[in-house]
A and B are shown apart, each in its own frame.
Chain A
């Protein structure tokens, strides 16, 4: 597609439920990133994919968080047993993943609210 697409744009869920957030990167971008944006916390790195592999998942806050990427394209971030502190905007970004790094292209994010 023309840009990075994320769905849903908003998600309200009850504490303890599981949620899935989807990211569709720019066609041809091999690298994909998930960040979390919280008020006053800036952008917190979660995980990075190169193709379908995740060489860096150091930012995942707990084992309730997992992510996968299939076909070198769409990625899904899953949060199990959601907690109120998981409320944030989850941003996905993609890039060409080669040595000429021009920066990321971001999606518009998924605003997750855990009640």
Chain B
């Protein structure tokens, strides 16, 4: 069974400091990984997909198959990054996403 683990429920980081949100997964096939973000009073939205290898709002995430991780990183945190972040996983050819429990990121001014 596929599973996504986000070990930190809460994470506080000072503005300007680096951010790393951890995500580990377990899956036997070929996974596709996503990060979703939910800002206060807004709907859940896609932040980035590993397959597109893009940087969105300064965030990047690298899929490490050896460590089965897909950590989200940003070198310099900004106050507007405060939000709830969810890591999610699906199998290629299957669109059912399995989500982690989420990490609430707070950026301290």
Chain B residues with CB below 8 A from A103, complex form: 34, 36, 46, 49, 97
Q: B26 contacts the other chain (Cβ, under 8 Å)?
A: no
CA distance A31 to B62 in the complex (A): 28
Interface string of A78-111 (1 = CB under 8 A from B): 0000000000000101010101011111111100
Interface size on B, residues (CB 8 A): 22
Interface size on A, residues (CB 8 A): 24
Write the nearest CB–CB distance from B33 to chain A, whole angstroms.
Answer: 11
Interface string of B73-93 (1 = CB under 8 A from A): 000000000000010101001
* Chain B interfacial positions (CB closer than 8 Å to A): 6, 9, 32, 34, 36, 43-46, 49, 86, 88, 90, 93, 95-102
* Chain A interfacial positions (CB closer than 8 Å to B): 31, 33, 35, 40-43, 45, 48, 56, 91, 93, 95, 97, 99, 101-109
